Structure formats: C-alpha cells, structure tokens
Amino acid sequence: MSDEAIDKLIKAGRIAKTVREEAARIVKPGMKLYDLAEHVEKRIKELGGEPAFPTNLSINEVAAHYTPLIGDKLTVPDNAVIKIDIGVHVDGYIADTATTVSFNPVYESLLEATRKALESALAILKPGIRAKDIGYVIESTIERYGYKPIKNLTGHSIDRYIIHSGKSIPNFNDIFSRWKLEDGVYAIEPFATNGVGLVKEGDIATIYSIRKKRGRLTIYEKKLFDRIWSERRTLPFCERWYKDLFSSVDGLRNTIKMLERHGVLISYPILIERGGGVVAQFEHTIIISNDEVIVTTL
C-alpha cells in the first residue's frame, strides 16, 4: 500500500472520528433523523471528505440501513437506542465507523458489551490473524454480558471506492472463516442484541447503489444515472442527495424504482432483528500494512 493511500485513509478516518463524536453529542430525543443525517454529511464535506454512504440512523430493533427520506418526519423516540453509522471517503479511500447512543439506562449494559467486544477484537489484531479468531473474541465478550452477537451481520474488507469488497469478518466463532487478514483495509463491527441474534430484511429500502452496466434508459433515468455515476461510481447513495434533479419527489422516486426494475440499481432494505430485540453497534476501520495495524477511526 502506498504512502499516499495510507495518508488518505488516515485523513478519512480522522474526519469520520470527529463527525461520529459530534453526532453522538448532539443527538437527543425529539431530534429529526433528517436533521441529524444532514448535519453529519455537511460536516464530512466541511472537513475535507465525502460521504462514503448515506448516514445510517437505525433505532432500537432496526440494526442497519435506515437513512432519512426527503421530508422525513421521524424523530428520535424517548428511551431509544440509536446506531449512528458513518462512512467517509477521501479520493475513494474509505473510513467506516459507528457508535450507539442510548437514552434508556436499561440498555447501558448492552452498549457496554458491544463496545467491549470491539475493544477486545482490536486488542488481538495483528497481521495474519484469522477472521474466525476475531469472531471468537467478539462472541465470547458479548456472551459474558448475557447478550448475543448478530451472526448474519459482519465486518468486512474495504477497497478503494468499495465498502464491502468481498471478505467478511464474523461476529462469532465461524469455523469456516479461516482466511487471514493480510495487508489491506478492514472494518471491525460487532452488533449485539437481547433478541435472537439474527436480522431479516424489512419492507423498505432507503439506500441504493448503481451497477456499472446499463440497458436502454429514458431521458430521466439517464439523467439520474449519469449524475450518480459521475459522483458515486458504485458507492451507495440516497434520494436526499438528488432532489435537485427533479421537479417533484414523486418523479425522483419513480425514476429510482424504474432503474431498479431495469437491473441498473441495487437497493439495500433496512435490517431488523428477527426477535424484535434491541441492537447496539460499534465499529472501527483498520489498516494492516508492513506488519503494522493502524486504527484510522479511533
């Protein structure tokens, strides 16, 4: 990995850390999710980065993949547990980080279990460690607190302009995950719950990405496709970012639906804990390079 790449990864991580901590300070019950997401993404840009994906603001049993819609009226409920998952890129070099804030003291031990699982995983990291060994530490830490890791959510490898680049880091002792972490970029992200430890897809999707290949498109579909491709390539996006292209929200949403039908667009439904359990998440991004481990978002 070049020095330039490492410098950009570290810059992205520094921005992500700053914005993550700001978001955790300002979030409060009654706050609109739309306002929080817009604040996060504005601050990322002010600090010299770009969002690597739309800000995920997932409440209680929703584990991931909710970002506010245009005109979204949803607010942070009283006694909520909210996950704030933030991605930053600098010239395509990505930092992925998350924190959880609880407004209900009942769930403080759930947050502590998840936070400690991440800390314990980071403590054992070294070049050549097997992915399953990271999962073992995460699972055993969470279980000591009486909770369950979410087994079908994982950490992941990261490449330039690609958030999930093909390798998964389990949150449990998966005996099949025997591959070793060598030079590269990875996100470690434990999820813990008081539910059954699995997620399912919900009925709505608010985050999308574009496929490179496309068929014949209408003028409106081409306009949206070309704008997204020029700005995002295959990085995820949301409708909030393209409201200026259309005279109506319905026009934008219908065009997104048509791109999805044509196989040009991928949607990412919200993920919900199958047993209705509350979910907590903490995440850091690491670089392994030249026998060194750098946590870019810490």
Residue 205 binned pLDDT confidence (cut-offs 50, 70, 90): very high
CB contact at 8 A, 45 and 39: no
Spatial neighbors of 3 by CB under 8 A, at least 6 apart, are none
Asked whether 238 and 207 are in contact (CB, 8 A), the reply is yes
Mean pLDDT computed over 127-143: 98
**β-sheet bridge partners, residue 168:** 156
The yes-or-no verdict on residue 211 having pLDDT over 90 is no
Residues 41, 50, 61, 96: which is the catalytic one? 96
Residue 50 known to be catalytic: no
Which pLDDT belongs to residue 235? 96
Residue 62: pLDDT band (50, 70, 90) is very high
pLDDT tens-digit profile of 105-117?
999 999 999 999 9
Q: Is it the case that residue 127 has pLDDT exceeding 80?
A: yes
Active-site residue flag, 35: no
The Cα 65–Cα 43 span in angstroms is 20
CA distance 179 to 199: 24
Catalytic position from the list 50, 61, 174, 189: 189
Set 156, 174, 239, 284: catalytic member: 156
Tell me the pLDDT tens digit for each residue of 2-58: 999 999 999 999 999 999 999 999 999 999 999 999 999 999 999 999 999 999 999
pTM of the full structure: 0.96
Nearest to 275 by CA among 188, 169, 151, 174: 151
Answer whether 51's CB lies under 8 Å from 94's CB: no
pLDDT in the model for residue 116: 98
Please tell me what DSSP assigns to residue 91: T
Q: 216-240 burial by CB neighbour count: b if 16+ within 10 A, else e?
A: ebeebbeebbeebeeebeebbbbbb
Coil, strand or helix at 239: helix
Q: What is the mean pLDDT of the chain?
A: 97
So what's the pLDDT on residue 15? 98
The answer to whether 291 is a known catalytic residue is no
User: How sure is the predictor about 249, in pLDDT bands with cuts at 50, 70 and 90?
Assistant: very high
| Strand, helix or coil for residue 257 | helix
Whether the per-residue pLDDT at 212 is higher than 90: the answer is no
What are the boundaries of each domain within the chain?
3-201+271-295, 205-270
Mean pLDDT of 225-235: 93
Q: Which of 35, 112, 164, 260 is catalytic?
A: 164
Domain 205-270 has CATH 3.30.70.1230: no
201 is catalytic: no
Residue 83's pLDDT is: 98
Summarize pLDDT for 159-180 with one digit per residue, the tens: 999 999 999 999 999 999 999 9
Query: Do 3-201+271-295 and 205-270 share a fold?
Result: no
Label residue 245 by pLDDT band (50, 70, 90).
very high
pLDDT tens digits, one per residue of 141-150 = 999 999 999 9
Higher pLDDT, 118 or 216: 118
Alpha-carbon torsion 123, 127, 130, 131, what sign? positive
Q: Is 260 a catalytic residue?
A: no
- 34, 24 contact by CB (below 8 A): no
Per-residue pLDDT, averaged over 62-75, amounts to 98
Q: What is the pLDDT of residues 284-297, one digit of tens each?
A: 999 999 889 999 99
pLDDT for res 216: 86
How large is the angle between the packed helices 3-26 and 33-46, nearest 10 degrees? 150
Give the integer Cα–Cα distance in Å for 60 and 224.
33
Whether 156 is catalytic = yes
| Residue 214 pLDDT > 90 | no
- Residue-wise DSSP of 173-192: --TT---B--SEEEEE--EE
Catalytic residue chosen out of the listed positions 41, 85, 139, 273: 85
The one-letter code for the residue type at 53 is F
The dihedrals phi and psi of 134, each to the nearest 5 degrees, come to -65, -45
Q: How high is the pLDDT of residue 297?
A: 98
Active-site position among 41, 61, 283, 284: 283
d(CA 118, CA 238): 28
Residue of 281, 252, 271 lying closest to 69 (CA atoms): 252
Q: What is the CATH topology of the domain spanning 3-201+271-295?
A: Creatine Amidinohydrolase (3.90.230)
Cβ-proximal residues to 108 (8 Å cutoff; 6+ apart), any chain = 102
pLDDT over 80 (residue 215): no
Q: What sign does the CA torsion over 93, 125, 278, 269 have?
A: positive
**pLDDT value of position 108:** 98
Residue 157, CB half-sphere, CA atoms under 13 Å: how many?
A: 13
